[in-house]
Chain A
Amino acid sequence: MIGGLFIYNHKGEVLISRVYRDDIGRNAVDAFRVNVIHARQQVRSPVTNIARTSFFHVKRSNIWLAAATKQNVNAAMVFEFLYKMCDVMTAYFGKISEENVKNNFVLIYELLDEILDFGYPQNSETGALKTFITQQGIKSQHHSKEEQSQITSQVTGQIGWRREGIKYRRNELFLDVLESVNLLMSPQGQVLSAHVSGRVVMKSYLSGMPECKFGMNDKIVIDKQGKGGGSEDAAKSGKQSIAIDDCTFHQCVRLSKFDSERSISFIPPDGEYELMRYRTTKDIILPFRVIPLVREVGRTKLEVKVVIKSNFKSSLLAQKIEVRVPTPLNTSGVQLICMKGKAKYKASENAIVWKIKRMAGMKESQISAEIELLPTNDKKKWARPPISMNFEVPFAPSGLKVRYLKVFEPKLNYSDHDVIKWVRYIGRSGIYETRC
């Protein structure tokens, strides 16, 4: 298991150092600093073995988090724990920065003592932790006996993510379907790979211990229902259903139930959390098509023309559109003509950045550029990085639709109808690239 956990600033100075196992000595702290942080070269692996000690590290802005061990630990678990550690710290004090870590070092030690025992990760749900570890110091002396046992049963219990006795005047929930659509397209317009990775994020402000059931247009569920309800229904709904390649759920979802009935039922944590993640690869709506045209005119000039076409309902508007056209390192000047939006050559980023605030569906726009090159004797050809694109569209490119989210709370007197529900779809570009 994890033998020690260290946090360093960008210079390699130790901000937090907690040793859990006897086999990790103090010199381990220095070994990582010398061999990894000060190594002055690109990180070749997130796992490093130095003198028979293995170090796992992740970086958040310029803060290094490293876990050390001498055993054959579960590597995936260690990384998951480090990410979780970051989440917990962010939930307590915001951005992970040197300043914030120093300001909260007592709190961090306290957290580390609680969520990692002898190197074994323990309950690390912030909802539960916040009931007894606070930034203002412990108030345990003020806890009544009842409260104390409530805390311990929550930390160790089956529903470790929610405490009892939550009350809201207005029962309300927000569902965000956030998708990032990824594309790699060849210069000829052939889709080399495309997938959507989506998340359903929920903000719940519900009283009591509500039992929820979430439904979407999952092909498997719809087909199953179609069988019972007649073929016509199936054909109708079949068009709207989507094939989900794979999905993962927050620990509140009863996985065995999903496995057997494919129904998503759970008691939600209070506040904001990620209910599920999913991935689709079939029938993706690609919101934009990028058509590049690069022509080398002699050795000192490049002509680039990029056309973008929006491919969705004309009533919808895409926002924050940004096209990034890479330019060679020896670019000396760029002349730009664009029909819409603003375009600029950014020498420091070696790219032409073309921004359009809004663009409706079924439209097209283009940019032309003349790139002057300095003559070089560099034999190596320019690698031509792909043209990348950023945007935001108000629909889910995977085609996912929320069909229902039902809430039952038998003990309290509110019903599903009394809950105010909001659903929003946002499609964003992930890595959306076209080779040129």
Chain B
Amino acid sequence: MTDSKYFTTTKKGEIFELKAELNSDKKEKKKEAVKKVIASMTVGKDVSALFPDVVNCMQTDNLELKKLVYLYLMNYAKSQPDMAIMAVNTFVKDCEDPNPLIRALAVRTMGCIRVDKITEYLCEPLRKCLKDEDPYVRKTAAVCVAKLHDINAQLVEDQGFLDTLKDLISDSNPMVVANAVAALSEIAESHPNSNLLDLNPQTINKLLTALNECTEWGQIFILDCLANYTPRDDRESQSICERVTPRLSHANSAVVLSAVKVLMKFMEMLPKDLDYYGTLLKKLAPPLVTLLSAEPELQYVALRNINLIVQRRPEILKHEMKVFFVKYNDPIYVKLEKLDIMIRLASQANIAQVLAELKEYATEVDVDFVRKAVRAIGRCAIKVEQSAERCVSTLLDLIQTKVNYVVQEAIVVIKDIFRKYPNKYESVIATLCENLDSLDEPEARAAMIWIVGEYAERIDNADELLESFLEGFHDESTQVQLQLLTAIVKLFLKKPTETQELVQQVLSLATQDSDNPDLRDRGYIYWRLLSTDPVAAKEVVLAEKPLISEETDLIEPTLLEELICHIGTLASVYHKPPSAFVEGSRGVQHKRLPGSAGSGESVESPDTGSAAGVSDAPPAVIPSQGDLLGDLLNLDLAPPATTTGPPPPTSSGMQMGAMDLLGGGLDSLMGDESEPPPIPLRTDTPQSPQLPHQSPSPPDYSPTELGGDLGGSPAMGAGFGAPPAAMPASFNAPVSGGLDDLFDLGGGVGMPSGAYSPPKSIWLPAMKAKGLEISGTFARRAGVVQMEMTLTNKAMSVMTDFAIQFNRNSFGLAPAGPLQVLTPVSPNQSIEVALPLNTVGPVMKMEPLNNLQVAVKNNIDVFYFSCQYPISMLFVEDGKMERQVFLATWKDIPNDNESQFQIKDCHLSSDAASSKLQGSNIFTIAKRTVDGQDMLYQSTKLTNGIWVLAELRVQAGNPNYTVSLKCRAPEVAQCVFQSYEAVLKN
């Protein structure tokens, strides 16, 4: 009995020899020959030339020989349809054979021969076999209907086989029922609307009865079919669940998983307060755990499904953390899946154990696994706040191992931890910086650059570090390049004096030497922002970033629901809807979980609009957290505080939001000009340049002031003042020294200017106010003090009913009217509000003098914050003293009340300074020049009638001004000086 010899005949003329043997008179020789033919067929040789000879062997009473011939037929009939007809007679005859095994064999094989002419002859025998007295023949015939349907669906309908098949659901033999259910389910899948599987309580009852009696495979068919049924109410749902739960003890994992599917689905309909609901939850855990002691391949399938179940119903397995601990000899695919589930189950209660395990895994051999373990530690830190500190120290330990990929992975996750807990763990930055040289993966490099840029003010040599990255700029990946660009711009905004060259360098690298449109666009955006409105640039680039969410890699809820309906199947293994990987009509219908109230809606709601299987397939998936983290790098651009256009629709991804914002933001930045300059970037943005903007910059804001509070460098302050109208020129010809223009001295000096108003700063961070963020500033417009605020809703719910109140303060500031927030603020929306103030409120001296305590109320809570207003906004318009009065007053005020201050690094001429100060209601009364030194005598009056007299000494060539202030109330001097400095430097 050594059939292996058939595999070894490879000599020439083989076909010819076989032909002779097949036509031999001796039965034994014939059989040998057919075996050789089958062996050749198996290894892929073409033996179709022997077709007539093999078919001739069909007429035999030797069942073994017959089966071999049938096998041959199934393979080659399609290529020789005419010859295949020769076999029909034998088939038809065999279907009448007294031996049920032969009848079944004939009908089974006939269904596998996909030749039209043969299928025609199949109908009559099949009809008989469906009603055969022997269950073995009936169960075979049931499957044959599905085969025939696959070849010719119309024929099956015309011949009425579907009705016969439906009748078989009531058959007395459980296996016939199971196969009929399988066949009907498959046919129904390609006819989503046919209601073929007319599932009603009676048929369900029949199925449940057959469930107890049929083979393990039959149980799977029936359970999978049951899962498509939607019970009418919770009572029916419960009674089905009760009859399905015993299957959880079946030795066959597929039976268990299919039962879990039915239970998970029907559970949706049970009221949560029902005792049975709790019982069911408890019953589900042990079988799921038992699946983990199956063979590794099944463990993998089980783990992929548990991943879904844990997301849908975390309570089921929350106490079972330990069973997901990785074993040393688990195959890698099992290890990776277990890790995922460990993170999902991590909670405060078990975090210590989990961390200890993860640390252990981080020393294993498999690189992918180690990386994932390190990443998991970071995810734990983000998920369980209490463990963050321990996670960070574990990560630091791992960095000390100096294993290259461990270090890189650790840095990537530490970046996320910084995002989640800002200003908490920055002490580790030094350690991170030590490992700068070993980073060779883009993601790690980008993460490190992000950290350096974000915390540039705390890293002494941030500029050197970034510069070192810049050297090989063109060899970096796009991710790193983009990040480097952003980081250097951040650094520049934080330390403008030392980093001008660096920012010029990176802007030119990004815009002039790069072919990457993303990089170029971003470079131009920064460039333009910096040159037109550095204040806005600061607000945009250094804006507070939205918090990152706790749960990571969550599957989007509608997809999750659909996948729960596919537990046990490939869809649940791939975590993709069937339509994503199944061709044709089968995958199109999307399954949904039933509603809890027992809505009579059909579960299989066919997606009629989508005919093309693939393209429409995955429902718009909200970018998973993984993607969001990836986008982090680009997120810096999203400015919540300066939203000028309509808020981006919430459904659009983060990336889109950022682009929209920029489109609108840029336009409005330019909008102050009478003639909006052409916009070379993104001219296709939906927003028009004439957006009705509640611009953060006041209307009388001249470009001179736009330099913002970038610091003391006069080059900066003036340089950015180049009128925006000149910008397009430098834009259109960036090569022609556009960068020089950027830092050009002298630009807008002497332009008349309005009252100085500091840029908005964040008064109330969202974290402290349940999602409400308030940033704001004070300004004096047309003699009225205004409090200008941006209210941003960073919570998930709409905010309404805003009101505001001030505590008593030094100058009696009080709202002149109610806070006008007319519309509810929806999530992610920002609203600009200007609140006019008066100075007739109750007075109490504050420390510092210009401190203001504010209470803001909304529908959620009352929040308190305090802010400091520039005293210059209290300088009234009629603060110009008569020269004589000034002289008299100056003499009158005792010298003790005089205080002297230095203003450093101010490069304005005395005239320019004078006109600037006048904009803020500090009036120059007289000017004297002594020994090349300009002495300006100035007066100003506060809202409460206090006069402040000043002597400003400006010496040409000396950037240091001296200001002497005299006032009857010397306490205000400090504040007034601050205003001087602020006004002059901006």
Whether both chains belong to one complex is answered with yes
**Residues of chain A having any CB pair with chain B under 8 Å:** 1, 13-17, 19-23, 26, 29, 42-47, 49, 52, 54, 56-58, 69-77, 79-83, 99, 102-106, 109-110, 113, 117-118, 120-125, 132, 135, 137-138, 140-141, 143, 145, 148-149, 151-153, 155-158, 160, 184, 192-193, 195, 197, 245-251, 254-256, 258-259, 274, 276-277, 279, 379-381, 383-386, 388, 431, 433, 435
Tell me how many residues of B have a C-beta within 8 Å of chain A.
116
B84 within 8 A of A: no
Looking at the complex, which one of A29, A145, A148, A388 makes contact with B44 (CB distance below 8 Å)? A29
Most chain A beta-carbon neighbours within 10 Å: one of B111, B217, B220, B245: B217
**Closest Cβ–Cβ distance, residue B611 to chain A (whole Å):** 18
B256 within 8 A of A: yes
Q: Report whether A117 and B246 are in contact in the complex, using a CB–CB cutoff of 8 Å.
A: no
Within 8 A of A (CB), among B240-282: 243, 245-247, 249-254, 256-258
**Closest Cβ–Cβ distance, residue A201 to chain B (whole Å):** 12
Looking at the complex, which one of B114, B179, B298, B402 makes contact with A79 (CB distance below 8 Å)? B298
**Closest Cβ–Cβ distance, residue A323 to chain B (whole Å):** 15
Q: Report whether A251 and B250 are in contact in the complex, using a CB–CB cutoff of 8 Å.
A: yes
Most chain B beta-carbon neighbours within 10 Å: one of A103, A151, A435: A103
**Closest Cβ–Cβ distance, residue A255 to chain B (whole Å):** 4
Closest to B577 in A: A72
> Within 8 Å CB of B568, what residues of A?
74-77
Interface string of B6-38 (1 = CB under 8 A from A): 110000000000000000000000000001001
Most chain A beta-carbon neighbours within 10 Å: one of B42, B139, B144, B357: B42
Can you give 12 contacting A-B residue pairs, CB < 8 Å?
A70-B582, A71-B582, A72-B571, A74-B569, A79-B254, A109-B67, A117-B179, A122-B139, A156-B176, A184-B325, A246-B290, A277-B290
Known: A58-B297, A192-B322. A120 touches B221 (CB 8 A): yes
**Residues of chain B having any CB pair with chain A under 8 Å:** 1-4, 6-7, 35, 38-39, 42-44, 61-64, 67-68, 70-71, 75, 98-102, 104, 108, 111-112, 114, 134-137, 139-140, 143-144, 146-147, 150-151, 173-176, 179, 182, 186, 212-217, 220-221, 224, 243, 245-247, 249-254, 256-258, 286-287, 289-290, 293, 295-298, 300-302, 322-323, 325, 327-329, 331-333, 353, 357, 360, 363-365, 401-403, 566, 568-574, 578, 581-583, 586-587
Q: Report whether B175 and A156 are in contact in the complex, using a CB–CB cutoff of 8 Å.
A: yes
> Within 8 Å CB of B357, what residues of A?
192
Q: How far is the CA of A383 from the CA of B367 in the complex (A)?
A: 13
> Within 8 Å CB of B99, what residues of A?
140, 143, 148
**Closest Cβ–Cβ distance, residue B764 to chain A (whole Å):** 47
Closest to B353 in A: A192
Looking at the complex, which one of B175, B249, B365 makes contact with A249 (CB distance below 8 Å)? B249
> Within 8 Å CB of B573, what residues of A?
47, 75
Closest to A18 in B: B71
Known: A70-B582, A79-B301, A379-B402. A248 touches B136 (CB 8 A): no
Closest to A93 in B: B1
Q: Report whether A52 and B569 are in contact in the complex, using a CB–CB cutoff of 8 Å.
A: no
> Within 8 Å CB of A385, what residues of B?
328
Known: A22-B150, A79-B295, A383-B365. A123 touches B322 (CB 8 A): no
Q: Report whether A193 and B245 are in contact in the complex, using a CB–CB cutoff of 8 Å.
A: no
> Within 8 Å CB of B286, what residues of A?
245-246, 279
Closest to A20 in B: B112
Q: Report whether A255 and B220 are in contact in the complex, using a CB–CB cutoff of 8 Å.
A: no
Looking at the complex, which one of B64, B249, B297, B402 makes contact with A258 (CB distance below 8 Å)? B249
> Within 8 Å CB of A83, what residues of B?
295, 298
Known: A158-B213, A379-B403. A431 touches B1 (CB 8 A): no
**Closest Cβ–Cβ distance, residue B497 to chain A (whole Å):** 41
Q: How far is the CA of A124 from the CA of B328 in the complex (A)?
A: 34
> Within 8 Å CB of A105, what residues of B?
3-4, 6-7, 38-39, 42
Q: Report whether B582 and A72 are in contact in the complex, using a CB–CB cutoff of 8 Å.
A: yes
**Closest Cβ–Cβ distance, residue A84 to chain B (whole Å):** 9
Q: Report whether B333 and A259 are in contact in the complex, using a CB–CB cutoff of 8 Å.
A: no
Looking at the complex, which one of A71, A117, A245 makes contact with B289 (CB distance below 8 Å)? A245
Q: Report whether B332 and A44 are in contact in the complex, using a CB–CB cutoff of 8 Å.
A: yes
Q: Report whether B246 and A259 are in contact in the complex, using a CB–CB cutoff of 8 Å.
A: yes
Looking at the complex, which one of A69, A153, A431 makes contact with B327 (CB distance below 8 Å)? A431
> Within 8 Å CB of B322, what residues of A?
192-193
Known: A80-B253, A152-B135. A145 touches B42 (CB 8 A): no
Closest to B100 in A: A152
Looking at the complex, which one of A46, A149, A381 makes contact with B401 (CB distance below 8 Å)? A381
Q: Report whether B249 and A75 are in contact in the complex, using a CB–CB cutoff of 8 Å.
A: no
> Within 8 Å CB of A151, what residues of B?
101, 136
Known: A141-B61, A152-B101. A120 touches B217 (CB 8 A): yes
Q: Report whether A46 and B63 are in contact in the complex, using a CB–CB cutoff of 8 Å.
A: no
Q: Report whether A247 and B249 are in contact in the complex, using a CB–CB cutoff of 8 Å.
A: yes
> Within 8 Å CB of A16, what residues of B?
42
Q: How far is the CA of A22 from the CA of B287 in the complex (A)?
A: 36
> Within 8 Å CB of A73, what residues of B?
569-570
Q: Report whether A256 and B363 are in contact in the complex, using a CB–CB cutoff of 8 Å.
A: no
Looking at the complex, which one of A26, A49, A121 makes contact with B217 (CB distance below 8 Å)? A121
Known: A247-B249, A255-B247, A277-B251. A76 touches B327 (CB 8 A): no
